[in-house]
């Protein structure tokens, strides 16, 4: 791999790392929106994150041809650039792990909120059913008097 190709790969690695920083920030904001119950903000973060993930997919595809080349066969401009790329790759892997952990927590929180919502809806539905049944039973049909438990 010549120096120009190696430099292009290094540029892609940097772009990927910078993009992962944005995705991590977006994931943290997503988690905050879920915890605060801010649906509009959550939807906005999810839309933003999807755009970033699509861009990440493009960068990953552009990096794919370089993955098969051994590091020894790359012509680095300097040792500093090689070390910077290695550091950025490691940093990207750490951010990816953090993003996956946040996404897992977000998923759990959303499932819990959904369960709580369904429970609340069921309680409201049950309460409404009981109230309707009670109201239906308390109004006499056909104009016949009331039932008095105190009379013998």
pLDDT per residue as tens digits for the range 25-62: 999 999 999 999 899 999 999 999 999 999 999 999 99
For 34, residues 6+ apart whose C-beta sits below 8 A from its C-beta are: 42, 106, 109, 110, 113
Confidence of residue 122 (pLDDT cuts 50, 70, 90): confident
Reported pTM: 0.76
In angstroms, rounded to a whole number, what is the distance separating the alpha carbons of residues 147 and 141?
12
Q: How crowded is the C-beta side of 55, counted as CA atoms within 13 Å?
A: 16
Contact 56, 23 (CB under 8 A): yes
Q: Cα separations (Å) of 49 from 15, 25, 59, 140?
A: 16, 9, 15, 60
Q: What pLDDT shows up at residue 3?
A: 92
């Amino acid at each position: 791999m010549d120096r120009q190709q190696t430099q292009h790969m290094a540029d892609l690695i940097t772009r990927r790392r910078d993009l992962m920083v944005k995705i991590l920030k977006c994931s943290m904001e997503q988690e905050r929106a879920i915890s605060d119950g801010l649906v509009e903000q959550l939807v906005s973060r999810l839309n933003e994150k999807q755009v970033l993930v699509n861009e990440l997919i493009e960068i990953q595809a552009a990096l794919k041809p370089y993955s098969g080349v051994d590091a020894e066969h790359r012509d680095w401009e300097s040792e500093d650039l090689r070390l910077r790329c290695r550091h950025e790759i490691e940093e990207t892997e750490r951010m990816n792990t953090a993003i996956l952990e946040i996404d897992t927590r977000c998923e759990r929180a959303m499932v819990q909120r959904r369960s709580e919502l369904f429970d609340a809806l069921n309680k409201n539905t049950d309460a409404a059913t009981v109230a309707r049944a009670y109201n239906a039973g308390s109004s006499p049909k056909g104009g016949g008097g009331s039932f008095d438990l105190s009379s013998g």
